Amino acid sequence: MQADIVIRALGALAQEHRLAAFRLLVQAGAEGIPAGVLAERIGVPPSSMSFHLAQLAHAGLVTQRRESRSIIYSADYAAMSGLMAYLTENCCGGVPCEDAAACLPATNRETV
């Protein structure tokens, strides 16, 4: 993944409502969520949600499809995986982690 793509993706996620929308889309799976429902759940006006979703789409983090009169948004899992791979490619000095828990924050290690 190229640095400019990573910067665009991280920039898109560096905003409260866009981050919340992306997290909801990740949870929703391939089925996705209509833009109006996202706006409702996050508590922003539909016009603001459209702006935020356009930013996420421009960053390549979401896809959209039309179903009847609704536009359904979904997380682009390949883009998300690519971003995560870019951010963690040098984890453990570039050597595959033997213990997956070693890469988790200290507060999450007990649950693995």
Predicted local distance difference test score (pLDDT) of residue 88: 84
pLDDT tens by residue, 75-86 = 999 999 999 989
**pLDDT confidence of residue 30:** 92
Beta-carbon neighbour count of residue 42 at 10 Å? Answer: 18
CATH number at residue 11: 1.10.10.10
Q: Contact, 29 vs 63, CB < 8 A?
A: no
Q: Please tell me the predicted confidence (pLDDT) of residue 81.
A: 93
**Distance of CA 17 to CAs 8, 25, 40, 43, 107, Å?**
16, 12, 12, 9, 26
Structure tokens at 94: 């570039």
Supply the range of the domain harboring residue 55.
3-111
Full-prediction pTM beyond 0.75?
yes
Split into its structural domains, the chain has a count of 1
* Per-residue pLDDT at 33: 96
Which residues of the chain carry a pLDDT beneath 50?
109
